[in-house]
A and B are shown apart, each in its own frame.
Chain A
Amino acid sequence: MFEVSILKMGSNIIVPIQVELHDRAAQKVQDDILSKVEEEGSSGLIIDISAVSIVDSFLGRLLSDTSRMARLLGAETVLVGMKKEVAITLIQLGMVFRNLHTAMNIEDGLELVEKLKTESVQTEANMPETGMIE
């Protein structure tokens, strides 16, 4: 099993996904990312998928879930670098992404993640709705 490199940058971690992930590998990457967030106490997570040519319903849901899981650990997530072909295909496939933040590249992603951290503190009084989804 391969490893995905996870880079630490201040209070953020950056995960560039450079290989095509099969389902079990994608689950391992999710686990590795969350372990790193927990270990480092990171408040921001950038997942770079600019090298990923296929995002199907499984990987799409896994990325969206990872973002929601990281938020429970206290980290805001921005998914960066989605190719336009992938965006078109995901929407035609019928994927719906809720509360998934995206940016064009790592630089914009880092800017957005800082903004999200501030916002999440401001809206803390306004607790997000809890309960079961779906």
Chain B
Amino acid sequence: MNDQKGINTFQISISSDENVIIARQKIRALAQEMGFSMLEQTRLITAVSELARNIVVHAGEGRVSVYREEERKGLRVVFEDNGPGIPDIKKAMEEGYSTAGSLGLGLKGSKRLVDVFDVKSEPGKGTRVEIVKWL
């Protein structure tokens, strides 16, 4: 994983459906300001929506941190929670796999919408998903 973290622009606590919408709106505003096309904004924000919802559904609470990458222009978004974690990431990345009665598109589907996608999880400790969209 790239250790270059860019400039930490803002962080949003996620514990409800409303917070997911706030995260979407704030990240969209930044993506728009940075000059992402309408399609790229839509793909990024849809991934943000899926991943932020995962926090609410699986962990109850967590946070979303947003970094503006300057060297190579882009947006990095990190989703972290201290929830139950993912016992088998490989399985969780399979299409149609779902533990919460959702469609199971969340992780695998989101991966297709961004340029960098990294999941780390420890059962019982939490999950960290990092995505990057280059400009």
Contacts and interface: CB of A to CB of B under 8 A. Distances in A.
Interface of A: 20, 22-25, 53-58, 61, 83-86, 88-89, 92-95
B8 interface: no
21 contacts: A22-B17, A22-B18, A23-B17, A23-B20, A23-B53, A53-B28, A53-B42, A53-B45, A54-B24, A54-B42, A54-B45, A57-B106, A57-B109, A84-B39, A85-B43, A88-B42, A93-B46, A93-B109, A94-B95, A94-B105, A95-B109
Interface of B: 17-18, 20-21, 24-25, 28, 38-39, 41-43, 45-46, 49-50, 53, 95, 102-103, 105-106, 108-110, 112-113
Contact of A58 (B18, B102, B113): B102
Contact of B53 (A58, A89, A94): A58
Nearest to B20: A22
A100 to B, nearest CB: 14
B101 to A, nearest CB: 11
- Nearest first, the 9 A-B pairs at minimum CB distance are A22-B17, A93-B109, A85-B42, A56-B49, A94-B109, A57-B105, A23-B17, A94-B105, A85-B39
B113 A92 contact: yes
B84 to A, nearest CB: 20
B49 to A, nearest CB: 4
Between B17, B28, B42, the greatest number of chain A beta carbons within 10 A of the residue's beta carbon is seen for: B42
A93 B105 contact: yes
Contacts of B41: 85
Contacts of B21: 20, 22
A53 B40 CA distance: 12
Contacts of A92: 43, 109, 112-113
A84 B43 CA distance: 12
Nearest to B57: A23
Contacts of A89: 39, 42-43, 46, 113
